[in-house]
Amino acid sequence: MTQWLKDLGGDTFAHSYRLDEILFDDHSPYQHVQVACNELFGTMLILDDAVQTTTADEFIYHEMLAHVPLVAHPKPRSLLIIGGGDGGLLEEGLKHPLDRAVMVEIDRMVVDVTLRYLPGIPGKAFEDPRADLRIEDGFAYVRNVPAKFDVVLVDSTDPKGPSVPLFGEAFYGDLAQALSDDGILAVQSGSPWYQRDLIAQVRAGLRKHFPIVRTYVGLVPTYPGVYWSFSIGSKRHDPATVADAAIAARTASFDLRYYDAAQHRAAFSGPAFLRPVLDT
């Protein structure tokens, strides 16, 4: 019998995928981890029945969450990633001339299955001498962080289970402490279709700790609703006003498939119907 995965967006809408082969299926201490194949989207990483990333479209989410804040900072030397177990974000971050990139992922199984079944997503990122992978609780790590970072990226699952604290105002306060004086925080903040309350909650939390708060959109085909929001808290640099020429110069050698100056601009202006959601 053909098996389909129904990846719900809210209660009443879903993306459905025919699963042609299940390559991996197990439970970690934190979540249900699956890897499966779909004809259109390739190999898919699925956590608790939600598609996290696929070989066909992973670059969109990872490029948009990494490069928007990294180009907004004039000279980032250090990067902290919370979550992001598939390594796609680490790979994008390391394209910048950083001195170091720390990645704190709570679930070793996610890193392991990625390296085994979706190795193209991290590429050689985990072997990069600048990379420091830590399998531990990101929330606790940030509380006792030993050094300041220029940019922090929070690549979490939906606000369920282990990800709940990652959307809390207290966490944003700890992250503000972990950032340098002109540091920038970027987080995935959910769907502008069915998680509008979440976007409002994230923005309100960021506003308590950062003078500049911006929400932008990227279009991720495998996330239900496709329009996806990311939110930034910044101490000094406004990501909405980075010059096109700076973006082009900073990313010229990166071989990107989605992000460029035009997408940066479109991400912050958005179509008119989304502006009330993004400016909550």
Which positions are catalytic? Answer: 155
Residue 124 in the binding site for a copy of itself (CB under 8 A): no
Of 17 and 216, CB closest to a copy of itself: 17
In the beta sheet, which residues pair with residue 4?
18
Closest distance between a copy of itself and the C-beta of residue 254, in Å?
11
Of 73 and 264, CB closest to a copy of itself: 264
Among positions 3, 18, 97, 248, the unique one binding a copy of itself when judged by CB under 8 A: 18
Residue 149 in the binding site for a copy of itself (CB under 8 A): no
> Stretches 32-40, 90-98, 182-190, 243-251: which one binds a copy of itself (CB under 8 A)?
32-40
Residue with tokens 């000279």: 75
Among positions 23, 126, 225, 235, the unique one binding a copy of itself when judged by CB under 8 A: 225
Of 182 and 260, CB closest to a copy of itself: 260
Residue 60 in the binding site for a copy of itself (CB under 8 A): yes
CA torsion 149-97-45-268 (nearest 10°) is 80
Q: Are 220 and 57 in contact (CB under 8 A)?
A: yes
| Cα–Cα distances in angstroms (integers) from residue 3 to residues 19, 20, 90, 267, in the given order | 6, 7, 32, 35
Q: Where are the beta strands (DSSP E) in the chain?
A: 3-9, 13-19, 21-27, 32-38, 42-47, 50-54, 78-83, 100-105, 131-135, 149-155, 179-190, 212-219, 227-234
Closest distance between a copy of itself and the C-beta of residue 272, in Å?
5
Judged by CB under 8 A, how many residues of this single chain contact a copy of itself? 39
Among positions 137, 169, 238, 260, the unique one binding a copy of itself when judged by CB under 8 A: 260
Angle between helices 244-251 and 261-269 (to 10 degrees): 130
Number of neighbours of residue 39 by Cβ within 10 angstroms: 9
Write out the residues near a copy of itself by the rule CB under 8 A.
4, 6, 9-18, 20, 38-41, 59-60, 193-194, 219, 221, 225-227, 256-260, 262-263, 265-266, 269, 271-273
